Structure 1
Amino acid sequence: MILEIADIRIHPGQQAEFDAAIQRGINEVICHAKGFSGFKINHGIESPERYVLMIYWETLENHTVDFRESPAFLQWRAIVGPFFAQAPVVEHFNLLAKSA
């Protein structure tokens, strides 16, 4: 299992619209991607323009190749991209340990 973390910054004052857009993008596009296994979205309290999107993939290639190189990625970016104040910072992680 691979965890993708995207640190997203949006333009000020667009939180309500972005909240709807990111959920729509997940439900309409990403949930149907090969290897998709779940997600979480966290919204900043001290920095209301900051979001942390966590997506779980079966393999790294499910994200970097199967999704990123597909037309679905363009659909996703068309939904959420207009809100970005800057390009999201995206990294991938392997699980080291977890609670019971």
Structure 2
Amino acid sequence: MILELADIRIQPGQQAAFDEAIQRGLNTVIAHAQGFRGFKVNKGIESPERYVLQIFWDTLEDHTVGFRQSPAFAEWRAIVGPFFAAPPAVEHFELVAKS
């Protein structure tokens, strides 16, 4: 399983609207992507405009090819993109240990 980690910064004062938009985008778009296995979203306490989005995929290619190169990616960005203060920093990780 692959973890996609996105560090998202949104425009100040948009937290409530973004909370709704990211939930809607995850449930209506990303949840239907091939290889999608789940997600977590955390919002910053000290920096309330900062969000950490974790999406779990079967393979790296499920995200980088299957999703990112599909029409669904444009649909996802249309929902959440207007809130971004800057493009999200996105990286991928493999599990090493678990409790």
Structure 2-normalised TM-score? 1.00
Counterpart in 2 of 1:65? 65
Distance (Å, rounded) in 1 between the aligned partners of 2:51 and 2:81: 13
Report the count of equivalent residues: 99
How much has 1:45 moved relative to structure 2? 0.2
How much has 1:97 moved relative to structure 2? 0.3
Gaps of 5+ in 1: none
Distance (Å, rounded) in 2 between the aligned partners of 1:40 and 1:11: 21
Distance (Å, rounded) in 2 between the aligned partners of 1:28 and 1:96: 31
| Counterpart secondary structure, 1:65 | helix
Distance (Å, rounded) in 2 between the aligned partners of 1:39 and 1:86: 22
Distance (Å, rounded) in 2 between the aligned partners of 1:63 and 1:71: 13
Counterpart in 1 of 2:4? 4
Counterpart in 1 of 2:49? 49
Distance (Å, rounded) in 2 between the aligned partners of 1:38 and 1:19: 17
Q: Summarize the alignment of residues 29-40 of structure 1 with structure 2, pairs less than 5 Å apart.
A: 29-40=29-40
Structure 1-normalised TM-score? 0.99
Gaps of 5+ in 2: none
How much has 1:60 moved relative to structure 2? 0.1
| Counterpart secondary structure, 2:34 | coil
How much has 1:38 moved relative to structure 2? 0.3
Counterpart in 1 of 2:23? 23
Distance (Å, rounded) in 2 between the aligned partners of 1:39 and 1:26: 8
> What's the RMSD between the two structures over aligned residues?
0.2
How much has 1:70 moved relative to structure 2? 0.1
Distance (Å, rounded) in 2 between the aligned partners of 1:36 and 1:86: 25
Letter in 2 for 1:66: G
Distance (Å, rounded) in 2 between the aligned partners of 1:73 and 1:86: 17
